[in-house]
Structure 1
């Protein structure tokens, strides 16, 4: 696509929610910055971008660092995309009325809207996601269902493109969504260059699963979800069930009853399944030593991992890796 005279090939306006996620914003805008010019000189030639506001006051991020807006809201038609960067899910997490009207005007003018991190919540609050599929982080899946009845958010992909609505789960996925837009409007070489400079190996397609391995457990029970998240955050040094229960403010028996009702299994078995699933992923997607994978997944040593892995998968980690390598060689 050739650039229009006097205009960048890709122009993006950013609307930042109060206490937005700085990482998600930085990843998105850095892909644009690196694609916009030769090398990393950062001149907004092929791409341009601006942080928008009605008040022009600094917007605080979730980590406390503020970002100064560059332009007032104005006409949304001057942008190819308007991107809403969400952040902390608080009871009063809503956009100011002027920002909601700006987004509604953008939608009416046919400007595609992008929701990053919890930006999907904010787009929906503005009435702009009805009839659209949207991507939500697995971490916020239960929150979305609780707040927005009748919607079915996608939590097993890193981003979703549904006509003129694009949503992503935040974090590193915002870089991949930005690269998708650069690829579409500027060129694949520029998208690849941006990611490479950011030390990201390759662009991931929308269908790439989110890395939150708790999503293999299908439940909306908030106690179970909190326990699963705590397990995931402490895989290398697994807590006992009693310690997990204590940390989330419940008794061991309560936690065990909730797991049995929600998942038909015990917390111990679910934690083991989680650790073995992570081990399986690391074995087939990388070349780390099995002994290192064992320690990273909370097993005493490679022998301990091998015993548990054979019971679950019917083969040892070494046999799985060898078979996977042979399959890949056969497809080449």
Structure 2
């Protein structure tokens, strides 16, 4: 007996099970590999018992114009399609995987026709990463909400003013179109769909197999109150905001910050007022308060620990500024939200 034969256990027989999720993936030019891999592997683990990976409870395929031509990801990896575009009637999801801009917007007319036909047939459309740009470019997001990565928010709003875009939610579902900003948020959207369509047992099985502690809710992104400054186009302002967000626990004088981005304190203050409405000092404090707000919602840390992690000298100092900004104390805010939940 080979030393590996013990690993080749026979999977249990499962007959007559109709898959609850039937998805087709459309990979755009230079698509991002992580959102695709996160989503499809979530389906794989939920689709069968143990780790046999049969497509039983979930089925999926990659569709393209030419099933013999591999599709290149942004990292250079090549993925082969399974089928050419055809009838979407047996599907309940079409997953559009975005990627590098503007390359992903070069999605072919054949692919766009397939997506539009699926949508018109009542198939739910999922946009991963910059898939939201593709769907908006096709007119499918007009008058809808979607979620966009904070790095692309300014460009998205300029291109598609008729779409309400957010960057502080894991995923958004609006009338048959679901979007997520990419990265690991694709896991959360996938498990939301698995939970909804296949049941909690399938979702828990997938989470456990992927060593994920819990399914994050749609609102568990830390809020970025100055996300527009991070993408305003001014190098010094953007660099300053990036430093602020990296040093939430250890803020330092604005004069030092200005020196780090290559200008005087006076010039930095002028630039912040030009591109925003607050001074650099107020901006940094509000970024730290927003992080404290998020920790109060999404962690069990004590007020003193949160104050320390957000760069406040003590709990009293944090509480004073939190109440001034959010109109209630951190303790009252946490109690009220937990009662509501």
Change (3 A) 1:19 1:234: farther
- 1:279 is displaced (CA, Å) by 4.0
Q: Is the 8 A contact 1:81 1:112 kept in 2?
A: yes
Asked if 1:38 corresponds to 2:49, the answer is yes
User: Normalised by the size of structure 1, how large is the TM-score?
Assistant: 0.79
Asked if 1:58 corresponds to 2:92, the answer is no
Residue aligning to 2:120: 108
Residue aligning to 1:245: 261
Higher Rg: 2
SS in 2 for 1:78: coil
- 1:172 is displaced (CA, Å) by 2.3
- 1:323 is displaced (CA, Å) by 6.9
Residue aligning to 1:127: 139
User: Normalised by the size of structure 2, how large is the TM-score?
Assistant: 0.77
Asked if 1:14 corresponds to 2:30, the answer is no
- 1:190 is displaced (CA, Å) by 0.7
Provide the rounded CA distance (Å) in 2 between the counterparts of 1:93 and 1:251.
40
Q: Is the 8 A contact 1:37 1:43 kept in 2?
A: yes
Residue aligning to 1:261: 274
Q: Is the 8 A contact 2:148 2:167 kept in 1?
A: yes
Asked if 1:24 corresponds to 2:40, the answer is no
- 1:201 is displaced (CA, Å) by 3.1
- 1:244 is displaced (CA, Å) by 5.2
Q: Is the 8 A contact 2:105 2:133 kept in 1?
A: no
- 1:49 is displaced (CA, Å) by 1.0
Asked if 1:309 corresponds to 2:325, the answer is no
Change (3 A) 1:217 1:55: closer
Change (3 A) 1:187 1:331: closer
Change (3 A) 1:307 1:260: farther
- 1:93 is displaced (CA, Å) by 3.5
Equivalent positions of 1:36-185 (< 5 A) are 36-56=47-67, 57-90=69-102, 93-185=105-197
Q: Is the 8 A contact 1:19 1:87 kept in 2?
A: yes
Equivalenced residues, count: 317
Residue aligning to 2:284: 271
Residue aligning to 2:5: none
Change (3 A) 1:324 1:268: closer
Gaps of 5+ in 1: none
SS in 1 for 2:62: strand
SS in 2 for 1:12: strand
- 1:37 is displaced (CA, Å) by 0.6
Q: Deviations over 1:5-39 (max 9, x none)?
A: 67422111111122222221122112111110112
